Structure 1
């Protein structure tokens, strides 16, 4: 509790002009008392503050009153403590934003949609879409999202010098994250993805992770006989094999055999999806190298964009994307279900129109 202390100097005294010895002695004594009182105030602890009020009138030399108010020392220390939660919250937000940049959110969105669409291929009747269906989709999607963080982090570690030229905004290339931190993040999320799949107990999901981990590690890591991204054909095969074959097939089998408890079958809808995704991801494999020509040339990464030119590769990609959407449109429009026809036309025609533009 704050406390107050008042210290007053002796009463005002008159200045004697006659110069008597007694008056001078009295004046000297009073000045000494004032100085002594002031010195005592100055010796108070640093946790106190004081103010001086000065006043005077004719024939008065000084009239001072010192008011000392005690302030608890904890009040000075309380400000850093109150700001600590804000600092922690700000740090967490910054880390999550950096992690988001590290993991390429658009790739994670694609993985989640792939898990959902492939799982829908196993649905035979409306009652199949139940709580267990959505739980099964999450079981397939979440480990894949963790794996995506591993894959992107590993690729950025392997491409550190190239990314300083092609993608200097990335967390590792820009110095936002250290190499050691990114390696720890990659190892942690790979472990989490395998652990979750093992806890779920679905063999299609376990084989999914084994296969795509092998593919994308061979794609990125810079060791003899690997680093497949240096060869344009091997790089395209990595993307097509994982996105067009491994992911849709294993997601479908997880829903078909593990969630819905049905025997293994390969319906025409799954085969059609694989064909469409082959067109699409061959185009994606070519398109991803178009903006990276400068750094790839310096570090010896051979791509079709370097071999035949960026413009030519761009139009090849447009053709492949149109083929993917065109096959989807034809398949949907020729379906026996009116609802499928309507949904297909509504969803795909705008995309094909954008490609033409």
Structure 2
């Protein structure tokens, strides 16, 4: 303890006190320091020269002000700060080095969160789930056009598929974006989580995205040089603009019939007939011909697209009423439209069963009929046991369920002969 106080003794020179009492007190301090240092410093300082020098320095400094040294230990002076300063600097430096990785960690975490949030907003704005769900139809139609892969190399097929999918991806973003722009007030009630409705995107930013996607889609289609692709993009843009934009004679979503027709024609052309003609005429350089499976597929898929259009409005009744829209769900009620959708699904499966049963190929007849009978039971059980008509979330899940049925049907169409 004594040594801990002694190391901070100042080294400034002062006058040495004289007199008997001072000499006695100085002698006492010298003895006190010697006894303290002898037990502490010898273990700490190995070189004798350093030991003697530091003992002398300590004694010499104490002798300059013995009274101050004795009362309450050795008090600090300005030179104490000089002695302790390097240690303080080192401590603060260590703390700064420790805080630097933490700061970098926080910065990287913030950057990661910002990127994650941006991607989530893109997914919400573009409704990627719908685009991915519909691509099963695009792939199925392209496979039907190829007939068998002995006539086409896998790389050529993949190239032709991407030539159609990439431009149409941007067209799909335009379609979803123009609908978001024209339905901001409705989405604030029905879908407040969407970036435009929630304020994550400003109206100008969303408008720039939508216009950019439109020009990218048309430009890429023109560069590819496929007439089926180009006209599919143009017709789809025209129909969906008429469906969404609030201009005279437009805003077709106010009419149930025009809504169903525009959406069904747009989706059949975009995900079935368009990619089929693109693969058949542009990639494979064949003459136009529609096989049995393509005709049946277009008919059955058209029914599913109408059902998707109707089921979308089931969870949007509140916002559509506030906007003055008269959707079928508002006119007839949610329950009636829900069971109408289920009935239309069963009707589409019935058409597939009837056509499959008339197939001249036995294995195609068995697979088509049996698979669609199973689907009828599966859809009915899901509608009865899994859907709560009073829950907005449950009705939205039914709409999402339709994309699963489209994917399954796109696979089953391959077995139709």
Higher mean C-alpha displacement, 238-247 vs 332-341? 332-341
**1:36 lines up with 2:99 in the alignment:** no
Distance 2:67 2:167 in 1: 88
Matched with 1:289 is: 313
Higher mean C-alpha displacement, 167-176 vs 294-303? 167-176
Higher mean C-alpha displacement, 154-163 vs 335-344? 335-344
Higher mean C-alpha displacement, 169-178 vs 111-120? 169-178
Distance 2:91 2:311 in 1: 73
Distance 1:340 1:190 in 2: 41
Distance 1:313 1:89 in 2: 43
Q: CA RMSD in A?
A: 3.4
Contact 2:10–2:78, Cα closer than 8 Å, also in 1: no
Matched with 2:339 is: 315
C-alpha offsets along residues 260-299 of structure 1, whole Å, 9 cap, x if unaligned? Answer: 1101223333322222223222222222212211111111
Matched with 2:125 is: 102
Matched with 1:63 is: none
Matched with 2:114 is: 91
- Please show how residues 188-203 of structure 1 align to structure 2 within 5 Å: 188-203=212-227
Larger helix proportion, structure 1 or 2? 2
SS at match of 2:88: strand
Distance 1:339 1:137 in 2: 29
1:352 is displaced (CA, Å) by 0.9
Distance 1:219 1:77 in 2: 55
After superposition, the Cα gap between the structure-2 partners of 1:28 and 1:101, relative to the gap in structure 1 and judged at 3 Å, is: same
1:309 is displaced (CA, Å) by 1.8
Count of residue correspondences: 328
1:41 is displaced (CA, Å) by 5.6
Distance 1:128 1:339 in 2: 23
Q: Which runs of 5+ in 1 are unaligned?
A: 1-6, 52-67
**1:163 lines up with 2:187 in the alignment:** yes
**1:71 lines up with 2:113 in the alignment:** no
- Please show how residues 56-67 of structure 1 align to structure 2 within 5 Å: none
Matched with 2:303 is: 279
C-alpha offsets along residues 232-272 of structure 1, whole Å, 9 cap, x if unaligned? Answer: 12111111111234542221110111111101223333322
SS at match of 2:287: coil
SS at match of 1:296: helix
Contact 2:167–2:217, Cα closer than 8 Å, also in 1: yes
Larger radius of gyration: 2
Q: Which runs of 5+ in 2 are unaligned?
A: 1-6, 12-17, 27-61, 382-417
C-alpha offsets along residues 197-230 of structure 1, whole Å, 9 cap, x if unaligned? Answer: 2332211111111110111112112233321111
Matched with 1:60 is: none
After superposition, the Cα gap between the structure-2 partners of 1:277 and 1:262, relative to the gap in structure 1 and judged at 3 Å, is: same
Q: TM-score, normalization: structure 1?
A: 0.79
Contact 1:112–1:145, Cα closer than 8 Å, also in 2: no
After superposition, the Cα gap between the structure-2 partners of 1:338 and 1:139, relative to the gap in structure 1 and judged at 3 Å, is: farther
SS at match of 2:349: helix
**1:138 lines up with 2:159 in the alignment:** no
Matched with 2:15 is: none
Larger strand proportion, structure 1 or 2? 1
C-alpha offsets along residues 290-316 of structure 1, whole Å, 9 cap, x if unaligned? Answer: 221111111111111111222222222
Runs of 4+ in structure 1 deviating by more than 6 angstroms, as ranges, are 21-25, 28-33
Q: TM-score, normalization: structure 2?
A: 0.69
Distance 2:112 2:234 in 1: 37
In the alignment, which of 27, 38, 46 is matched to residue 65 of structure 2? 27
Higher mean C-alpha displacement, 79-88 vs 295-304? 79-88
Higher mean C-alpha displacement, 150-159 vs 25-34? 25-34
After superposition, the Cα gap between the structure-2 partners of 1:324 and 1:72, relative to the gap in structure 1 and judged at 3 Å, is: same
C-alpha offsets along residues 41-74 of structure 1, whole Å, 9 cap, x if unaligned? Answer: 68x5xxx6529xxxxxxxxxxxxxxxx5683897
1:77 is displaced (CA, Å) by 4.3
After superposition, the Cα gap between the structure-2 partners of 1:135 and 1:345, relative to the gap in structure 1 and judged at 3 Å, is: farther
Higher mean C-alpha displacement, 316-325 vs 188-197? 188-197
After superposition, the Cα gap between the structure-2 partners of 1:117 and 1:70, relative to the gap in structure 1 and judged at 3 Å, is: closer
In the alignment, which of 230, 240, 243 is matched to residue 254 of structure 2? 230
Contact 1:208–1:247, Cα closer than 8 Å, also in 2: no
